[in-house]
Amino acid sequence: MSKCRRLLAALLALMLVLPLSVHADEGEELDNSAAQDRLAELNDSYKELEDQKKKVDSQINSARTERKKQEIISAEIDGQINTTTKQIELLNERIGLLTQQIGQLNGSIAQKQIEMEAKEEEISEAMELFKKRMRAIYMSGGGNNTAIGMMLGAESYSQMVIRAEVVGRVAKHDRELLSKLDQDLKELNELKNGIEQDKQEIEQNKSAVEGDKTEMAVKKEELDSQYQMARDKVEDIAAQEQEYLANKAEIQKKLNMLEAEMKAIYDEINKESVNVPYTGGTMRWPSPSLSQITTHFGEGGHTGIDITGGGAYGTPVLASGDGVVKVASVQNPDSGYGKYIIIDHGGGIQTLYAHCSLLSVSVGQTVSAGQQIAQVGSTGWSTGPHIHFEVRKNSQAVNPLAYVGG
């Protein structure tokens, strides 16, 4: 409970700087009835702020969940963008390679065109020579008659045979030359057509790749837009989250102020209770079903005893003696005592029951010894279900075992 003592010290320090509306302007003693009314008012305000805080906590959790969701979405889109960018780069490389191949084929086509033109020129020249020879033969007497005349004009048989062979060879040479030139021209034309067909296929392939690139570019543009939208959402949600956190901090500030004022009222009430006579007698054990003491009074500055046992959570907490409920606090169950009750038994004797899960009484209520006032819980600074039980004499903690019996 040393943490609780530090909390009380901090709250007392806050009292020095916070105005306490429960004190009269002239510094008069706090009227008990007015104090109870003010405590009820403060408790209502505290509960309202607690509800607001829970709502803001829910908003913060929702914002964080949505922000993480959008961050995951943006990360996934970013991965798709990287993949698409790499695909576009590969397509650009492919287009560059195809463009290079088309350039090479254009060069080959141009070269074959030059060779074909040269071959056509060669054929044209051969045809001209052939025509001139035919014309000369014709002018000298005409066709085969001239060839026959050449053979008949031979002076000997051997000369006739030689002349006949020459005429045959010339005719054969002309035929072979023209045939070869024509065959070369056909081969060149076929080769040129083949190259042009290859070029056409590559150009079609290039067009298809460029189409793929265009689709990828459109896809990347869409992904870029989606990514920006996701990042904008992340930023908007983060800003909203910060606003919620600021609201929570403001609510907590108000809660702290209420706690300080309530603490001041409790202290004032405690001062007044000293004058009420204590009837004495042995106090009851606060929870008959629990008997295990896990921390004794004075251990490490402990201001009470911690009582627990099997199935402790939710078991009844009983009033140790007759008295009036001075504190029934549900304020901030996540700090200090959590939910706790203080009963004034008169004569400066008070008992405190902390870390409760449920309170069954309210401030100002008269209770009897053995009456259920709460249920065991683990609210506040607690490591498990138990009762932190204190006995105070003139606002000073004393050993509870000197007062309680069975």
Q: Are residues 106 and 178 in the same domain?
A: yes
> What is the rounded CA–CA span in Å between residue 285 and residue 321?
9
Name the packing angle between helices 143-152 and 157-273 (round to 10°). Answer: 130
Please tell me the total count of domains within the chain: 2
Q: Are residues 182 and 198 in the same domain?
A: yes
Residue ending a domain, choose from 273, 292, 309: 273
Q: Averaging pLDDT over each range in 40-49, 112-121, 228-237, 385-394, which range is the top one?
A: 385-394
**Torsions phi, psi for 329 (to 5 deg):** -95, 125
Q: Are residues 393 and 310 in the same domain?
A: yes
Q: Are residues 341 and 217 in the same domain?
A: no
316-318 and 366-367 strand pairing: unpaired
> Collapsing DSSP states into helix, strand and coil, what is residue 343?
strand
State the distance between the two ends of the chain, measured CA to CA, in whole angstroms.
24
Q: Are residues 289 and 240 in the same domain?
A: no
- The C-alpha angle with vertex 91 and arms to 218 and 81, in degrees rounded to 5, equals 45
Query: Residue 143: is its pLDDT beyond 80?
Result: no
Q: Are residues 32 and 181 in the same domain?
A: yes
Q: How many residues does the chain have?
A: 406
Q: Are residues 370 and 263 in the same domain?
A: no
Q: At 249, which CATH number?
A: 1.10.287
387-393 and 349-359 strand pairing: antiparallel
> What is the rounded CA–CA span in Å between residue 152 and residue 154?
5
> What is the rounded CA–CA span in Å between residue 273 and residue 364?
12
> What is the rounded CA–CA span in Å between residue 24 and residue 187?
121
Report pLDDT digits (tens) over 263-318: 777 667 656 554 545 454 589 999 988 989 999 999 988 999 999 988 899 999 99
Residue ending a domain, choose from 241, 273, 305: 273
What H or E segment, with its residue span, contains residue 292? strand 292-295
Q: At 373, which CATH number?
A: 2.70.70.10
Amino acid at 381: W
Q: Are residues 139 and 20 in the same domain?
A: yes
Instruction: Give the structural domain span for 293.
Output: 276-406
Residue ending a domain, choose from 227, 246, 273: 273
Task: Among 196-205, 330-339, 392-401, name the one with the lowest average pLDDT.
Answer: 330-339
Percent of the residues in the chain that have a pLDDT greater than 70, as a whole number: 75
30, 149, 170, 184 from 159: Cα distances, Å: 163, 13, 17, 37
Q: Are residues 239 and 368 in the same domain?
A: no
pTM, whole model, 2 decimals?
Answer: 0.49
Task: State the average pLDDT over residues 99-115.
Answer: 82
Q: Are residues 210 and 75 in the same domain?
A: yes
DSSP secondary structure of 153-171: T-SSHHHHHHHHHHHHHHH
Q: Are residues 132 and 262 in the same domain?
A: yes
Q: Are residues 262 and 285 in the same domain?
A: no
> What is the rounded CA–CA span in Å between residue 192 and residue 108?
8
